[in-house]
Structures are given as structure tokens and as C-alpha cells.
Amino acid sequence: MPRYGQRTTEESSAAGSEALRGAVVGGAKWGLLCGGLGIAGYFLSPIYRSLTVQFKVYIQMSGMTLGAWLEADRRLRAYEFAARRERKRMNDEAVWRRWEGMVEEEERKEVGRKQEKG
């Protein structure tokens, strides 16, 4: 039984999958953005044109890495929020069921007492 706040293996795998999807999407989005800026820089800036190919690739990859990191983090935080909300809903549901059971038990006892008297 995991302690409070610990994840099960399934939850960890699902969180990792969500972060991976976010990283791929973020890398693609920011890669396109940096590629567009690179094309604009090539046509508009003589300084950018004079850079080496390796440095241009480094700039492009830095943007993709930043985008992947930001999107993966955003998706992971959203996943954790949803998981926490679901866990809280399940706990509240269990408390409610326990409360309903207690109320029903009291009603049965009350009916039994009335039948004994009557």
C-alpha cells in the first residue's frame, strides 16, 4: 500500500507518457517558431547570415529544447492537478458512502427499536 502522496507504477507511467507527449508537441511547436525566426533572420540580418551552420543549428535546437521542456512541464502539472482532483473525488465518495452506511445502520436500529416496543 503506497503512503500518502506516493504514486503507483501505473500513475508514474501515465505521468511520464503525458510529459513525453508534451515534450514532443512543445519541441515541434517551438521548432517551427525558431525555424521561422531563423528564415526571417537569414533574409533580414547580415549578422545571422554570417553565423556558422553549427551555431545556427545550436540556436534552433535550443529553442526546440526550451519548448519541449516548457510544454512537458505544463502538461505534467495539468496531469498532476487532474490526478489530485480525481483522488480527492474518490476519497470524498468513500467518506460519503461510509456516512450513508452509518445513517442506514442508525435507521435500521431505530426501526428495530420501534418494532420491539410496538
What would the pLDDT profile of 32-69 be if each residue is shown by its tens digit? 999 999 999 999 999 999 999 999 999 999 999 999 99
At residue 116, does pLDDT exceed 90? no
Report the chain's terminal Cα–Cα distance, integer Å.
49
Sign of CA dihedral 85, 90, 96, 98: negative
Range of the domain at 56: 10-117
pTM of the model: 0.71
43, three cell numbers: 533574409
Number of domains composing the chain = 1
Q: Which residues contact 14 (CB under 8 A, 6 or more apart)?
A: 79
Percent of the chain with pLDDT over 70: 93
Residue with cell 502538461: 75
